[in-house]
Amino acid sequence: MTPASTALLFVPSPGAASGGCWTLDFACGTGRILAHLAGRTRSSTGIDVSPGMIELARPKAPYAELIVGDITRQNLLAGRTFNLITAFRFFPNAQPELRLSAMQALRRHLAPDGLLVFNNHRCDSGGLFLLARLLGRRPHTMSLEEVTDLARAGGLEIAEVFPIGTLPATDGHMLVPPWVHGVCDRLAGAVGLSARLAQNIIFVCRPAGLRGGVAEGFRRPAWPAREVVHA
Ligand SMILES: C[S@@+](CC[C@H](N)C(=O)[O-])C[C@H]1O[C@@H](n2cnc3c(N)ncnc32)[C@H](O)[C@@H]1O
């Protein structure tokens, strides 16, 4: 398992009460998240607007149903619902209109007891982006408030938030050893600043208005895990 693929914190437990997990990975790209879900779900579907990306995903996720298209414009999933939907490295890269139409489309395909797990890997208050602003740059980012508003506008509520990567890091490139990342993440957590300092946050959302904790059938790996630095 690669560090990047372990970014997905919630993995469906085999034999969950619901009888298994139907997963949709939106904007699946090269299949990074689908590969992580291999063997953990009852069914896996990946969708991406780019045929080239889907071709790259195919060998990584041979078991998955792969669909080329844009669910914000096309009715590609014909009323199907999923109890785990993932969307990694999508929202902060998208324009506001696309963010909203994607969120609304994903909500339509989320089962009533389902979870949408996505990340904001470009949090505006993250150290790297603060530094860029100090240097006079205008990095493309998304704030915590924008994420909260987006989830609400899409008919979802944020059930859990996992700030990760207090120190800047990209896939496979850490400035310091992994254990230093872990220590910094823990320190930020201890002073209650994780969500403000992290440049990468994973959000777990459920349909608005439902009560209770994270759905049965999902388990959370030990936390903090150094591998999740690169979500
Ligand atoms: C940065 S990649 C992330 C890929 C993958 N989720 C991951 O975390 O490795 C963003 C992906 O979003 C896809 N994308 C952009 N707009 C889309 C849309 N409207 N519908 C589906 N996919 C879209 C792009 O083709 C690209 O593969």
pLDDT tens digits for the chain (231 residues)?
333 334 455 554 444 555 678 899 999 999 988 988 887 788 899 999 999 999 999 999 999 999 999 999 999 999 899 988 999 999 999 999 999 999 999 999 999 888 899 999 888 887 778 888 889 988 888 988 899 999 999 999 988 887 777 777 665 666 778 788 778 877 887 887 877 788 788 888 989 976 555 544 454 443 443 333 344
CA atoms within 13 A on the CB side of 132: 15
Whether the CB of 163 sits within 6 Å of ligand 1 = no
48 Cα–ligand 1 center, Å: 6
pLDDT of residue 31: 95
The structure's pTM equals: 0.85
In whole angstroms, what separates CA 79 from the centre of its chain? 22
Q: Which tokens in the block code for residue 159?
A: 């059930």
Burial call 153-173: b when 16+ CB within 10 Å, e when fewer: ebbbebbbbbbbbbbbbeeee
Orientation of helix 96-108 relative to helix 144-153, angle to 10°: 50
pLDDT of residue 72: 95
| SS3 call for 26 | strand
Whether the CB of 217 sits within 6 Å of ligand 1 = no
Atom of ligand 1 nearest to the CA of 25: 6
